Amino acid sequence: MSDLHEKTSLPDPAAPWHHQAIAHVLQVFQTDEQQGLEGPEVERRQQFYGPNEIEAGRGRNTWEIFLDQFKNVMLIMLIVVALISGVIDFVELRANALPEGTVPFKDTIAIMAIVVLNGLLGFMQESRAEKALAALKKMSSPQVRVCRGGQFSEVKAAQLVPGDLMFIEAGSQLSADGLVLEAAQLQVRESALTGEANPVTKRICPVGLAADTPLGDRQNMVFSGTEVLQGRGKILVTATGMSTELGKIAQMLQSVKASQTPLQKRMAHLGKILVTGSLILVILVVVFGSLQVGNFSRIKELIEVSLSMAVAVVPEGLPAVITVTLAIGTQRMVKRQALIRKLPAVETLGSVDTICSDKTGTLTQNKMVVQRLETQDQSLRVTGEGYAPIGEFLSQDQNLNPTQHPEVQQLLRACVLCNDAVLKQDDQDWLIIGDPTEGALLSLAGKGDLFAEALQKEWPRLGEFPFSSERKRMSVICAMPNPDQAESTAAYLLCCKGSPELVLERCQTYQTATGIFPLQAEDRAAILQRNNEMAQAGLRVLGFAQRCLTYVPEAQAEVNAEQEMVWLGLVGMMDAPRPEVKEAVAKCRAAGIRPVMITGDHQLTAQAIAQQLGIATPDAKALTGLELSKLSQVDLEAMVETVSIYARVAPEHKLRIVQALQSRGKFVAMTGDGVNDAPALKQADIGIAMGITGTDVSKEASDMVLLDDNFATIVAATEEGRVVYTNIRHFIQYILGSNIGEVITIAAAPLIGLSEVPLIPLQILWMNLVTDGLPALALAIEPAEPDVMQRRPFNPQESIFARGLGAYILRIGLIFSVISIALMAYSYNAHPDNWKTMVFTTLCLSQMGHAIAVRSRTQLTLTSNPLRNPYLIIAVAATTILQLMLIYVEPLRLFFDTQRLSGQQLLICLGVSTLLFVWVELEKLVIQWYWAWKNPPKSR
Ligand code: ATP
C-alpha cells in the first residue's frame, strides 16, 4: 500500500485484490455488503480518487492537426498559385515593370491568407468535431446501478468510487474493475482487454485466487471496458479511472475520431477532379496561347489567366459549408431527441425507406400496469394506475381479498421473488428501477400486501436462471423460510415467469385453492385460449409457475430444473401505445417509409398494437420467430417486403430480417436494446439504440441513440436527414455553378481577343468565399420544405449529382458564363476603363439572384414565403452591400483593384445580373408545365 493510501486509510486500487478473501476485501474497502458505502464517504472518495474516467490516449497534437489540413490537393494548388504569382511580382519589381499604384505581392499575400484561413477553419472544425463527438459520447455514457446507504439508484459511470457496490447484467459495459460478490450465470466478453474472443464465466471465489493468476484467468474479478454477455452480478468496485487495467493501457486506446461522411469523401474526390480539370485547361490555354505569340507580356498575360482559372475552379467555401451543415443537422436532431453517434448517419437518414422497430417502449409507453390476473380458480380484474401499489382485485366486480386465496397469494409471491426490479416512493411518485415489466409485478403484489423487502429477506435467493430474449423466461431458486410447514418437505422453491406458452410447456400440474392437479390437454388448451384472449386485447401476458426442490440446481442445469413445474396462472399488463406514434406512422407512410414491428412479445398482442397504430391492417398476418426459423433465407427474402409484424422473435432473427430487406434493396433503420441486438444494429444501414432502456453494448453498436426511446423520434430524425440532404444539394448546386461560370469567363477572355484577365485572383477569392459562401451558409440552414415528408426517400446509391443536379450545374455554369461573356464583350468596348469591375460586379450580383431562386426546383420564388429563411435575405443583403463597398470605398477599391462605377454602369450590371434569376425561374415554369402535361387533371 502506498504512503498516501495509508495516510488516508483508503485502499490502493492497484493491490492484487483477486488474491484476497472476499470478507477481507470488504473490510479493507469498509463497505457493507448489503448497504454499500454511505453518501459522505462516497463524496470523500470521489475527491480522493477523482472521477472514474479514462484520459484519452495521446492523439495528434495541435500542430499535427493543423498541418494535416494542408494535405488537401486544392489548398496545395492555391499555394502553388501564390508562389508563381509571387515570383512574377518579384521579377516585375526587379525590372521596375510593376504598373503604377500596384501593391506588390498582393495576390500572393491574399491567397496565402486564404490558405492559412482555410487551414485554420478546417483545424477549428476538426477540433470542434472531435470535441462535439466526445461530448455526444459523454451524453450516452453508461449509467450504473449502485447501492449506497442501503438505497438503490442509478448513477453516471464517472461517479463510481472504489468501495461502491455495483450491479451488472447482460448488456452492461463495465466502467470499473471489481471483485465478484454475487454471480448468476455471469459471462463477460473481455476481448477489449485480453484479446480473448470467447466469453469468460465469472464466479465468486471466497478465499481468492493465486497471486500470480494472469488477467484473463481472474474469474473472481471483472474489468472496465469489458461487456456482460449473460447473467447478473453484484460487484465490489476495487479500481476506477486510470487505476483500472484498462486505464493502464489507455495510451493504446484510440482517441475519438470524427469519421468522414460519404459526402465529405465524395467532395474530396471532386476536389481532385476539379484540380486535374483545371490543370489540363491551364496547359491548353498556355500552349495554344504561346503558339500564337512570342513576346513576354502575352506570356505573362497567359500565366495570369491560368492562375486566375486555377483559383476560380476551387470552391474554397464548400468544405466549411458542408461541415457546418452536418453540425447543424446533428444539433437539430439532438433537439428532437435523436443523438447521432456516427456523423454519416446525418446525411444518410434521408434515405431510410424501412424502419424496423421494437414494440415495447418504442411504439408503446413501457409503463406497464397489470390489469388481469388469472389462476385456475379466479379470473380477476386489477385496478389502479401507474406503479403505485394501490388498487383492488375484482372478481365479477366484487372486491376480493387475495390473502384469503392461497393460489392467488402464491402467484403474487412468485411475482415478487422472481424479480430484479426495485419499486420505491420518491416524494409522492412511485418509481421503479429496472425492467418496467417487473416493476408492474411488484406494484401488483403490493396491491395484495406483498412487498419485496420483507419477502425477499424471508425467502433468500440462492440461485437463478436469468432472463434473456432467447429464453423468454427467468427462474429463481429461493430458500423456504420454514421448510417443514411449506408446501412440501422440500427446502427450496423455484419460481419461474415468462412467455406463457414456454412456461406452460414445462408444467405438469396446476395449482388451485384446494391443491395441485394434473394438467390435462383441455386444461392446457383453456389456459392458452385465455392467454390469446388477453393478448388480443393488446395485453402483454406472462405465465407463472413454481416447483419445490430438495436441492439448489447448478447454474447450467436449467433444462432439468425448469421442468415438472406447477402452473400458477397468467398476469396480463397493459402497455399503452405512445399517443404520438399513430401520427408518426401515418407520416412514415406518406413519406414512402414502411414501418415494421419486430417484437419478442406474443403475435396477438403485437397484432393488436400494430393495428391500433396503423402499422398493419386487421387481417395482416404476423410471422413468428418459430415460422421464421423454418424459412430459408431465400424464402424469407421473397416475403420480407409484405410482412409488417414479426412476433416472438429472438435477436438473431432480427439480423436475418435486416439482411433479407437489404437484399431487396431496402435501406433499413433498425432499433435494438439488448446485448444480442448488436449484430443486427451493425448490419442495419442506420442502427438505432434506446437511450433509456438500451444496454451499453447496443449503444456502442449503433449509429444513433434515441434519447426518449420513441418511435416518433426516428421519424423526426429521418425528416431532419432529408432536410440536411436537400440543403446540401441546394448549396452545391449554387456554389459549383458559379465556379464553372467563372472559369469559362476567364478562359474566354484571351480567346475573344481581350488583352487582360477580367478577374484577378483576389477578386475570385472574394467571390468564392464571401459572395458565394455567405448565401450558401444561409441555404444550409433552410428550414424543411412543407412537402419534405410527402416525397419518396432518396436513393442511397445515387450520386449527389443525380436527379439532374450535375446537368443543372453545367447548364447554370454555361448560362452564367454566356451572360458574363456577353457583358464582358460589350463593356470592353463601351466602358473600356471599367469593364473588369462591371464583369466582377455582374458575376457577384447574379449569384445573389441565384441564391434566392435555387431554394426550390419547382416552386416559383414569387409564390414562396420570403421570410421562411430570413438568414438568406440577410446574407444576400449583406453581401450586396459588401460588394458595393468594394467599388465605392476608397481603400477597399485600391486593395481589390476595382474602379468606381457610374450610376448607369451599376444599373447595367444590376439589369444583366437578374438574367440568371429569370433563367432559373423560367426553368421552374417549364418543369411545372411538363408535370401538368404528364399528369393532366382527371376529367370527371
Ligand atoms: P420488444 O422486442 O418489442 O421489446 P419484448 O419486451 O416483449 O418486446 P423481449 O424483451 O425479448 O421482447 O421479451 C420477450 C418475451 O419474454 C416477452 O414477451 C415476455 O413474454 C417475456 N419476458 C419479458 N420480460 C421478462 C422478464 N423480465 N422475465 C420473464 N419473462 C419476460
Percent of the chain exceeding pLDDT 70 equals: 91
The neighbouring-strand residues paired with 461 are 478
The predicted model gives 112-134 an average pLDDT of 70
Query: Is the CB of 89 within 6 Å of ligand 1?
Result: no
Model confidence at 1: pLDDT above 50: no
Q: What is the 3-state secondary structure (H, E, C) of 863-877?
A: HCCCCCCHHHHHHHH
Crossing angle of helices 106-139 and 73-94, in 10° steps, is 160
Give the distance (Å) from ligand 1 centre to CA of residue 167.
Answer: 21
| pLDDT for the residue 254 | 40
Across the range 923-932, mean pLDDT stands at 90
pLDDT at 317 over 90: no
Ligand 1 centre from 691 Cα, in Å? 18
Compute, in angstroms, the gap from residue 472 CA to the centroid of ligand 1: 6
User: pLDDT value at position 253?
Assistant: 42
Closest C-alpha among 843, 825, 819, 824 to residue 766? 843
Choice among 559-568, 734-743, 840-849 with the minimum mean pLDDT = 734-743
Paired sense of beta strands 200-201 and 177-189, if any: antiparallel
Mean pLDDT to the nearest integer, 198-219:
86
Which pLDDT belongs to residue 133? 55
Residue type for position 206? P
| Residue with CA nearest ligand 1 atom 12 | 600
Amino acid at 737: G
The answer to whether the beta carbons of residues 468 and 651 sit under 8 Å apart is no
Check pLDDT > 90 for residue 92.
Answer: no
**Band of residue 61 on the pLDDT scale cut at 50, 70, 90:** low
Q: If DSSP codes are grouped into helix, strand and coil, which group holds residue 357?
A: strand
Q: How far does the centroid of ligand 1 lie from the alpha carbon of residue 891, in Å?
A: 74
Asked whether 913 lines ligand 1 (CB < 6 A), one says no
For cell 493468476, name the residue. 213
Residues 6 or more apart whose CB falls under 8 angstroms from that of 510 comprise: 376, 516, 517, 519, 523, 566, 567, 568
Q: How far is CA 880 from the centre of its chain?
A: 40
pLDDT category at 867 given cuts 50, 70, 90 is confident
Q: Which secondary structure element, helix H or strand E, spans residue 446, and what is its range?
A: helix 436-447
Angle at 305 (CA atoms; ends 302, 308), nearest 5 degrees = 150
Going by C-alpha positions, the residue among 577, 454, 441 that lies closest to residue 498 is 441
Exposure class string for 158-170: b at 16+ Cβ within 10 A, else e: bbbbbbbbbbbbb
Q: Residues 794, 351: contact at Cβ < 8 Å?
A: yes
Distance CA 234, CA 33 (A): 10
Q: Does residue 614 or residue 172 have the better pLDDT?
A: 614
Whole-number Å distance between alpha carbons of 910 and 747: 23
- Give the largest CA-CA distance in the chain: 118
pLDDT tens digits along 402-459: 989 999 999 999 999 999 998 988 777 898 888 899 999 999 999 999 999 899 889 9
Question: How many A from CA of 189 to the centre of ligand 1?
Answer: 24
Query: What residue type is assigned to position 301 of the chain?
Result: E
- The stretches of 709-785 forming alpha helices (DSSP H) are 711-751, 761-766, 773-780
Q: Which amino acid appears at position 823 of this protein?
A: L
Q: Side chain identity at 668, as an amino acid letter?
A: V
Name the residue of 368, 465, 499, 654 to mutate for ligand 1: max ligand atoms within 8 A of Cβ: 499
Show the beta-strand stretches assigned E in 65-128.
none
Catalytic positions, please?
358
Quick check: CB of 359 below 6 Å from ligand 1?
yes
940 pLDDT band, cuts 50/70/90, is very low
Q: What is the pLDDT of residue 262?
A: 67
pLDDT of residue 128: 63
Cell digits of residue 528 = 392458452
**Residue 127 pLDDT exceeds 70:** no
Which atom of ligand 1 has the smallest separation from the CA of 499? 20
Which range has highest mean pLDDT (493-502, 689-698, 729-738)? 493-502
Give the pTM. 0.76
Does position 939 have pLDDT exceeding 60, yes or no? no
Residue whose grid cell is 385465455: 530
Q: How confident is the model at residue 256 (pLDDT cuts 50, 70, 90)?
A: very low
The mean pLDDT of 877-906, rounded to a whole number, is 91
CA distances in angstroms from 651 to 92, 168, 328, 644, 679, listed in the order given: 74, 21, 34, 17, 9
Distance 351 CA to ligand 1 centre (A): 31
**pLDDT at 139 (0 to 100):** 57
Check if 190 has its Cβ closer than 6 Å to any atom of ligand 1: no
Here the cell at position 673 is 436494446
Sign of CA dihedral 388, 392, 394, 397: negative
**How high is the pLDDT of residue 484?**
54
β-strands 645-647, 594-598 pairing: parallel
Grid cell, residue 2, equals 502506498
Residue 470, pLDDT score = 86
For residue 650, the ligand 1 atom closest to its alpha carbon is 11
Q: Are 345 and 261 in contact (CB under 8 A)?
A: no
Shortest CA distance to 309 belongs to which of 848, 733, 740, 818? 740
Helix (H), strand (E) at residue 530: helix 521-536
Least confident stretch, 55-69, 179-193, 813-827: 55-69
C-alpha cell at 671: 432499433
Cβ–Cβ under 8 Å, residues 693 and 361: yes
User: Cα of 451 to ligand 1 centre, how many Å?
Assistant: 23
Atom of ligand 1 nearest to the CA of 601: 18
* CB-ligand 1 contact for 440 (6 Å cutoff): no
Distance CA 608, CA 534 (A): 10
Cα three-residue angle 368-370-374, rounded to 5 degrees: 145
Mean pLDDT, the chain, integer: 86
Residues 6 or more apart whose CB falls under 8 angstroms from that of 8 comprise 48
φ, ψ of residue 820 in degrees (nearest 5): -75, -30
Read off the pLDDT band of 264 (50, 70, 90).
Answer: low
Q: Residue 120's CB: how many other CB atoms inside 10 A?
A: 12
DSSP secondary structure string, 486-508?
SSSS-SEEEEEEE-HHHHHHTEE
- For residue 626, the surrounding DSSP H or E stretch is helix 625-630
Q: Cα(442) to centroid of ligand 1, in Å?
A: 16
Q: Which of 417, 471, 472, 544 to mutate to test the pocket of ligand 1 (most atoms within 8 A of CB)?
A: 472
Mean pLDDT of 191-215: 82
Q: How far apart are the first and last CA of the chain?
A: 92
Encode pLDDT of 550-590 as tens digits.
888 887 777 788 999 999 999 999 999 999 999 999 999 99
The amino acid occupying position 546 is: Q
Instruction: Report the alpha-carbon distance of residue 551 to residue 271 in Å, rounded.
Output: 73
Across the range 831-858, mean pLDDT stands at: 90
| Ligand 1 in reach of 542 Cβ (< 6 A) | yes
Nearest CA to ligand 1 atom 16: 472
Whose grid coordinates read 485547361? 281
- How far is the C-alpha of 48 from the C-alpha of 788, rounded, in Å? 54
Q: For residue 420, give the ligand 1 atom closest to its CA.
A: 27
Instruction: Please say if the pLDDT value at position 604 is more than 70.
Output: yes
Q: What is the spatial distance between Cα 876 and Cα 896, in angstroms, rounded to a whole number?
A: 20
C-alpha cell at 532: 390469446
CA nearest neighbour of 657 among 677, 675, 633: 633
Judged on CB neighbours under 10 Å (0-12, 13-18, 19+), 867 is exposed
**601 CB within 6 A, ligand 1:** yes
- At 347, list the grid cell: 446525411
Are the C-beta atoms of residues 660 and 641 closer than 8 Å to each other? Answer: no
Nearest to 493 by CA among 541, 456, 451, 452: 456
Using alpha carbons, select from 794, 337, 351, 353 the residue that is nearest to residue 589.
353
Q: Which residues 6+ apart lie within 8 Å of 834 measured at CB?
A: 827, 899, 900, 901, 902, 905
Distance (angstroms) between ligand 1 centre and the Cα of 538 equals 14
Spell out the alpha helix ranges (H) of 831-902. Answer: 835-853, 870-888, 890-896
**Residue 17 near residue 179, CB atoms below 8 Å:** yes
CB of 437 within 6 A of ligand 1: the answer is yes
Taking alpha carbons only, the member of 129, 133, 126, 138 closest to residue 54 is 138
Residues 144, 129: Cα–Cα separation, whole Å:
28
**Which residues, 6 or more positions from 241, have their beta carbon under 8 angstroms from its beta carbon?**
49, 50, 51, 52, 53, 54, 247
Task: Return d(Cα 270, Cα 797) in angstroms, integer.
Answer: 17
Q: How far is CA 466 from CA 538, 567, 839, in A?
A: 26, 19, 77
pLDDT band (50, 70, 90) for residue 251: very low
- Whose alpha carbon is nearest atom 18 of ligand 1? 601
- Residue for cell digits 494542408? 70
Residue 615 near ligand 1, beta carbon < 6 Å:
no
> In what helix (H) or strand (E) does residue 688 lie, and over which residues does it extend?
strand 686-690
897 lines ligand 1 (CB under 6 A): no
Separation CA 452–CA 432 (nearest Å)? 12
Query: In this predicted structure, what is the pLDDT of residue 417?
Result: 96
Q: Write the DSSP string, 115-161.
A: HHHHHHHHHHHHHHHHHHHHHHHHHTPPEEEEEETTEEEEEEGGG--
Q: What is the pLDDT of residues 450-499, one digit of tens each?
A: 999 899 889 999 888 988 888 999 999 999 987 655 455 678 999 999 99
Shortest-distance Cα residue to atom 5 of ligand 1: 600
Question: Mean pLDDT across the stretch 739-744?
Answer: 86
Q: Could you tell me if the CB of 469 is within 6 A of ligand 1?
A: yes
The answer to whether the CB of 605 is under 6 A from ligand 1 is no
d(CA 291, CA 750): 13
The residue behind cell 414479426 is: 646
* CB-ligand 1 contact for 360 (6 Å cutoff): yes
